[in-house]
Structure 1
């Protein structure tokens, strides 16, 4: 069997892939269907709309173009206002691990505002270098082609606010780019564009439907994704830059992306990210720089009563350097 080229970029679908969407999105669409008389009154009918482009499928239910535009806008507005689905358990660690080795993008039929809300609330926003929302790029084939055509797509993020400009830019093509999705329509769109596809079994469509559409592999659990894409490298600590978790706290777990893990429930869209990004940038320039000597015995030290902010910062930087 001919060896596949290494994976350089991974595009994640949002709904049904990163987040649990079957109930949450149906509850939104059911309101739209009743309001506009679309005749979709069962969840299974709604899930069937994703066999192709969902907006094209909805358009076929409408009287005319004006009606279709009104339905789409109402649907997107309800998603912006009310849609906050939970993350699929375990998928956050997968995203962080892949961010160390690949450029990540997220693509969705949902509104960009929803992508931001979901990713920020789960401390994943800065793991993704690119986002494609349905209110900006409703056709996913267009989004995938734009991603491949943009020469800057090879600059990734490593779970911090800045782009990895100090790293080596990678050249992206269809053979080194993989879409991860839960719908047969996305599978067919990606194959048409020339991108590899793996499916996930916990979303809209079944293993059989995803396989029949052309997915080269269907994951039953999130933990299968990184080993399938990275091979043995998935089990090794990555060489990527390491950032300090929010408030320079001790990490609760090491997710593998190089960020050192983050305390449960913390978001990344605040001052903690700024501190993390600053430390990450400074690591590139720290060769030969001597850190302050440890405090004398008996003095206040980081993590103990009486520790100063400077103590905490020095301790955090030392932890980062040891991991590097």
Structure 2
């Protein structure tokens, strides 16, 4: 039996976290006395690791200020999670993951710009920790689109690149997949416009379509 691996991005792919992202980034800019960028600009950097995202959005702020913004973002996001609960899964995602998890030769993984603390808290609150055999986070790797996260996921799962697929909502996910020699599937409900997901073998419009694309792309599953 040849094992296959489906690697998922989190924010904008599995969960809709834009409210917390926008509120946290607003607080980060307030910490250095600046107005936050508009919604589209903030969401355009989702997928990058947080320090790089802050640097992209506030290049005029010095290193100490960017560090303060990064910490403020983390603290605000954590507080929002405590007070408001987990970001919600997109429609149909929970059921899709349940069905995929029942396929014996298909493994599931995560590659996210979240921190380990943030991902662990999110998956725990959604009762999803047992779903994923490998979870790669920004703490341990260069930012997307560097292929390090996918390389580590493949190694941990014992799966070849040809037998894996990366699922995400941003161009950074698709570029990371290409850099790692893995096929990429985009989702249209996330934070980057579908027409920016160049390099994707397909772009899904909903969870049902995504499930079909994963099975078709990997093939040979039992």
Q: Is TM (by shorter chain) over 0.5?
A: yes
Counterpart of 1:16 in 2: which secondary structure? coil
2:70 — aligned with what?
A: 72
Separation in structure 1 between the aligned mates of residue 62 and residue 122 of structure 2, nearest angstrom: 33
Q: How does 1:213-228 map to 2 (within 5 A)?
A: 213-228=198-213
The unaligned stretches of length 5 or more in structure 1 are 1-5, 155-171, 240-324
Question: Which shifted more, 59-68 or 19-28?
Answer: 59-68
The structure-2 alpha-carbon separation of the partners of 1:56 and 1:214, relative to structure 1 and needing over 3 Å to count, comes to same
Q: CA contact under 8 A between 2:136 and 2:153: conserved in structure 1?
A: no
Separation in structure 2 between the aligned mates of residue 142 and residue 38 of structure 1, nearest angstrom: 33
The structure-2 alpha-carbon separation of the partners of 1:73 and 1:54, relative to structure 1 and needing over 3 Å to count, comes to closer
Q: CA contact under 8 A between 2:28 and 2:70: conserved in structure 1?
A: no
Counterpart of 2:7 in 1: which secondary structure? strand
1:162 — aligned with what?
A: none
Q: After TM superposition, give the deviation of residue 137 of structure 1 in Å.
A: 3.2
1:133 — aligned with what?
A: 137
Structure with greater helix share of residues: 2
1:59 — aligned with what?
A: 55
Separation in structure 1 between the aligned mates of residue 122 and residue 50 of structure 2, nearest angstrom: 20
1:147 — aligned with what?
A: 153
Q: After TM superposition, give the deviation of residue 51 of structure 1 in Å.
A: 7.7
Structure with greater strand share of residues: 2
Q: After TM superposition, give the deviation of residue 48 of structure 1 in Å.
A: 2.0
The structure-2 alpha-carbon separation of the partners of 1:57 and 1:122, relative to structure 1 and needing over 3 Å to count, comes to closer
The structure-2 alpha-carbon separation of the partners of 1:134 and 1:77, relative to structure 1 and needing over 3 Å to count, comes to farther
Cα RMSD (Å): 2.6
1:94 — aligned with what?
A: 96
Q: How does 1:186-265 map to 2 (within 5 A)?
A: 186-210=173-197, 213-231=198-216
Tell whether 2:16 aligns with 1:20. Answer: yes
